[in-house]
């Protein structure tokens, strides 16, 4: 539930009283603001909770934040500790306080979420224990990083009252298409068992560079994901050879050309395994990367890419080009909406956090079908899938 807490160093209202949200607060329809084809979240006060890691112990509370969370200046953290925006075990501490391992730290912030496309999350099928939707590119599936309300899960809860939802599979934020949600834990577990048992078939389509081979192409190449870099690499080599040490995980994808105009091709992608960025990396390995995938296009190809064929260029993104044939109407633009600003916030008065310019578009990669024992779920093709 929402709770109120008196600010010792001033607050967002005349009385210094602020309503602090936690992950328990569900997103609501009125939380969203629509402007220029983008969905924003009205900034809100939020309590981030963490516990002191062993490597943090022994640092002052200010040094801990300044070294580990570099998104704000040192002076901000000094002020935040002094006025009680940063607390340890629920109490205000001096800036010289030395933190101890496992202590609970609360950071009360004015939270600004990155914007996403304003295209709605279309419900494809609603069953007693399953919901399927068509996810637009740019919207993450579930809360992660700076996203909490601006997620598929959050939007479905706010606009359709659908909760709880259990994602059966994930799609990268830049990828569009079919998403399957179980509506209870037992159904989610059944899906999980079928996926782990190799009983589920997955189909995606992609627009790639060049004329893709006419015959089916199967890529069996290990994939090594680097979390720090946020990208995967293909590891060519013979995994049965004792002299070759492959760090990545075994991965297999089958590709079939659907159409081509000589410059680009539409390709059916059927991943047998499920590694991070698997389809993107295997297409790169085949010599036919996704045509607007800046993360996996070669440097030469990147330099020649036309403006407007860009993905992964920056942290912020907006996808108006990968719209499903389901006509997802933009939300009506609303007049300038007032939202509360915070005198201590390093992002106010802007709606979006710093670093999100919204110049990206979604990847030309779209999930069209999942099937398993006795069930099939499908999603319409996107507009870009036609080369006519």
- What is residue 364's predicted lDDT score, i.e. its pLDDT? 97
Same domain, 139 and 202: yes
- What is residue 371's predicted lDDT score, i.e. its pLDDT? 98
Same domain, 85 and 156: no
Same domain, 106 and 125: no
Same domain, 69 and 213: no
- What is residue 242's predicted lDDT score, i.e. its pLDDT? 53
- What is residue 137's predicted lDDT score, i.e. its pLDDT? 95
Which of 111, 131, 165 is a domain's end point?
111
Cα separation of 356 and 342, whole Å? Answer: 20
Which of 95, 111, 127 is a domain's end point?
111
- What is residue 335's predicted lDDT score, i.e. its pLDDT? 43
Exposure string over 208-236, b if 16+ CB within 10 A, otherwise e: bbbebbeeebebebbbbbeeeeebbbbbe
Catalytic residues: 172
Same domain, 61 and 135: no
Which of 92, 111, 130 is a domain's end point?
111
- What is residue 18's predicted lDDT score, i.e. its pLDDT? 79
| Domain boundaries, position 73 | 3-111
- What is residue 323's predicted lDDT score, i.e. its pLDDT? 29
**pTM higher than the cut 0.85:** no
- What is residue 339's predicted lDDT score, i.e. its pLDDT? 77
Q: What is the mean pLDDT of each run of 10 residues along the chain (388 residues)?
A: 42 60 91 93 94 95 94 94 96 96 96 94 97 96 93 97 95 96 97 96 97 95 90 76 70 97 97 94 96 80 36 30 35 56 90 77 95 97 88
Q: What is the pLDDT of residues 284-301, one digit of tens each?
A: 999 999 999 999 986 444
- What is residue 368's predicted lDDT score, i.e. its pLDDT? 98
Q: What is the CATH number of the domain that holds 49?
A: 3.10.290.10
Same domain, 102 and 131: no
Same domain, 97 and 238: no
Same domain, 41 and 124: no
Same domain, 139 and 53: no
Same domain, 16 and 79: yes
Q: What is the pLDDT of residues 322-366, one digit of tens each?
A: 323 333 344 444 444 567 889 999 899 999 998 776 666 799 999
- What is residue 355's predicted lDDT score, i.e. its pLDDT? 77
Q: What is the CATH number of the domain that holds 305?
A: 3.30.2350.10
Same domain, 105 and 125: no
Please give the tally of structural domains in the chain: 2
Same domain, 29 and 95: yes
Secondary structure of the chain in HEC code, one letter for each residue: CCEEEECCCCCCCCCCEEEEECCCCCCCHHHEEEECCEEEECCEEEEEEEECCCCCCCCEHHHHHHHHCCCCCHHHHHHHHHHCCEEECCECCCCCCECCCCCEEEEEEEECCCCEECECCEEEEECCCEEEEEECCCCCCCCECCECCCCHHHHHHHHHCCCCCEECCCCCCCCEEEEEEECCHHHHHHHHHHHHCCCCEEEEEEEEECCCCCCCEEEECEEEEECCCCEEEEECCCCCCCCCCCCCECCEEEEEEEEECCCEEEEEEEECCCCCCHHHHHHHHHCCCECCCCCCCCHHHHHHCCCCCCCCCCCCCCCCCCCECCCCCECCCCCCCCCCCCCCCCCCCCCCCCCCCCCCCCCCEEEEEEEECCEEEECCCEHHHCCC
């Amino acid at each position: 539930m929402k709770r109120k807490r008196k600010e010792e160093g001033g607050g967002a209202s005349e009385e210094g009283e602020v309503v602090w949200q936690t992950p328990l607060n569900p997103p609501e329809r009125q939380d969203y603001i629509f402007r220029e084809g983008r969905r924003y979240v009205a900034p809100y006060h939020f309590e981030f909770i963490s516990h002191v890691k062993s490597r943090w112990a022994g640092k002052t509370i200010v040094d801990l934040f300044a070294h580990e969370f570099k998104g704000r200046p040192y002076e901000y953290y000094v002020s935040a500790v002094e006025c009680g925006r940063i607390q340890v075990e629920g109490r205000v501490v001096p800036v010289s306080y030395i933190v101890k391992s496992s202590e609970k730290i609360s950071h009360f912030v004015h939270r600004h979420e990155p914007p996403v496309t304003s295209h709605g999350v279309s419900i494809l099928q609603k069953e007693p224990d399953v919901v399927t939707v068509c996810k637009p590119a740019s919207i993450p599936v579930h809360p992660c990083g700076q996203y909490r309300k601006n997620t598929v899960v959050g939007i479905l809860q706010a606009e359709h009252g659908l909760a709880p939802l259990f994602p059966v599979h994930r799609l990268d934020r830049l990828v569009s298409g079919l998403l399957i949600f179980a509506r209870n834990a037992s159904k989610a577990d059944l899906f999980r068992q079928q996926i782990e048992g190799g009983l589920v078939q997955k189909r995606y389509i992609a627009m790639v560079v060049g004329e893709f081979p006419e015959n089916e192409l199967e890529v069996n190449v290990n994939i090594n994901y680097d979390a720090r870099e946020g990208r995967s690499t293909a590891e060519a080599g013979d995994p049965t050879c004792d002299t070759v040490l492959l760090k990545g995980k075994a991965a297999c994808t089958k590709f079939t050309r659907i159409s081509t105009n000589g410059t680009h091709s539409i390709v059916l992608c059927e991943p047998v395994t499920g590694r991070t960025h698997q389809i993107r990396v295997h297409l790169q390995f085949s010599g036919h990367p996704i045509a607007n995938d800046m993360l996996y296009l070669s440097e030469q190809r990147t330099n020649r890419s036309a403006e407007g064929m860009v993905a992964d260029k920056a942290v912020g993104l907006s996808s108006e080009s990968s719209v499903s044939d389901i006509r997802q109407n933009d939300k009506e633009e609303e007049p300038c909406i007032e939202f509360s600003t915070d005198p201590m916030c390093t992002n106010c008065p802007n709606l979006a956090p710093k670093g999100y310019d919204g110049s990206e578009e979604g990847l030309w990669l779209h999930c069209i079908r999942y099937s398993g024992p006795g069930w099939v779920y499908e999603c319409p093709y996107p507009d870009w899938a036609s080369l006519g």
